[in-house]
């Protein structure tokens, strides 16, 4: 379950990030990440993405 969630989080995040920042995200996600942290990350990434538009 944990791995499945991690993969899911990973795919969700990768939709919102540039290739350059993907490496850092993958490294971060390779270490364990709690759902709460992941939600925070997704929110941050969405904010960043909104500011690029």
| pLDDT (tens digit per residue) in 5-40 | 666 666 666 666 666 666 666 666 656 566 677 777
29 CA to centre of own chain: 7
Q: Where are the beta strands (DSSP E) in 1-53?
A: none
d(CA 27, CA 5): 16
Domain assignments of the chain as residue spans, ordered by start: 2-52
DSSP code of residue 33: -
User: The whole model's pTM is what?
Assistant: 0.34
pLDDT at site 50 = 76
- In this prediction, residue 44 carries a pLDDT of 78
Confidence of residue 42 (pLDDT cuts 50, 70, 90): confident
pLDDT of the residue at 22:
64
């Amino acid at each position: 379950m944990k791995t499945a969630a991690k993969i899911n989080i990973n795919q969700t995040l990768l939709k919102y990030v540039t290739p350059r920042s993907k490496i850092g995200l993958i490294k971060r996600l390779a270490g364990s990440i709690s759902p709460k942290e992941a939600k925070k990350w997704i929110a941050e990434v969405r904010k960043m993405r909104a500011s690029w538009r």
